[in-house]
Amino acid sequence: MSNQLLQKSIFEAVKRQKDFDKMSFDDDLFDEDFLDDDEWDEEALEDEGGEKEEGDLWKGVAAALRTGDGLYEKYEMEQCLEAWYPVWERIKENVAEAYRKLELFDVDEATEFRYNFAEWLPKVVTVYFCLRRFEDAIDFCHDVKKTFAWEKERPNDYNRAIGDALYSLKRVEESDAWYENWYREEPDNFECVCSCGTYLAGRGQKEKAIGLMEEAMTGLECNYQTQDKFMQAATFFRVMEDQEKADHYQKEYDKLFRNFLTDPIKYGSQELWNF
């Protein structure tokens, strides 16, 4: 199996298990006049004869997203980008008007998750990769990182895409340095550990990849806050063909699950019973 295929297979196996970082935010931090869509809805967009005020911040966004989605499903990627490009420009324009730098989650929350920008933006990156427009993908990811605050969450998808795009451009030394620097800056970021480990394994540095994961898991106790890490670690070591470590982390996860079934109050998250 080639390095790229190995890297892809590891990532596909591991990425399905992600840490859940519960968002907490204060509604009072929002500027109520900002990101207000004036209660216009998607149905209004379908009526070409309908008149909307010029001040609607998100006018046309839903229609553009739907058009792009249709083209995306047909694999008409160039046309898809053309439909979606104005949406990204609108997001940047509106976010720039905020009195403070916003999280991506803030924008979705303020628009009542009508557009799900957090899910849409990675699809734009996918389109760039499908078109092999790796330079554009890198520029876009840097643009996304620059636009939002990234204090409550981290731009893991975009950091990973930048590294992979550099590698696809055969700028291997740059991709190596990108992943190395990312890990150096965020060794406590488990998504970073998984991504860097996956990359290193794909580059034939299996032992180094295993070392990163072992270091990240050292001293961790399996509980409701860390259970996803144990599942990811089990998957990672299984792909690394280290069945002993894979079984160890799987058994710890299974033990927590059995304990939870026996005593959910003691072993589960308080949110599960605190209605």
Under 8 Å between Cβ of 27 and 249: no
Q: What is the pLDDT of residue 30?
A: 40
Element (H, E) at 21: none
Number of separate domains in the chain: 2
- With tokens 């803030």, the residue in question is 106
Q: What is the pLDDT of residue 5?
A: 52
pLDDT in tens, 30-70: 443 445 544 334 444 444 444 444 347 899 999 999 999 99
Q: What is the pLDDT of residue 4?
A: 52
* Below-50 pLDDT ranges, the chain: 1-2, 17-34, 37-55, 270-275
The length of the chain is 275
157: CATH:
1.25.40.10
Do 76 and 103 sit in the same domain of this protein? yes
State the greatest distance between any 2 C-alpha atoms of the chain, in Å, as a whole number: 66
pLDDT in tens, 115-138: 999 999 999 999 999 999 999 999
Final residue of a domain: which of 176, 199, 218?
A: 218
27: in domain:
no
pTM for the structure as a whole: 0.75
Do 248 and 201 sit in the same domain of this protein? no
For residue 257, give its domain range: 220-275
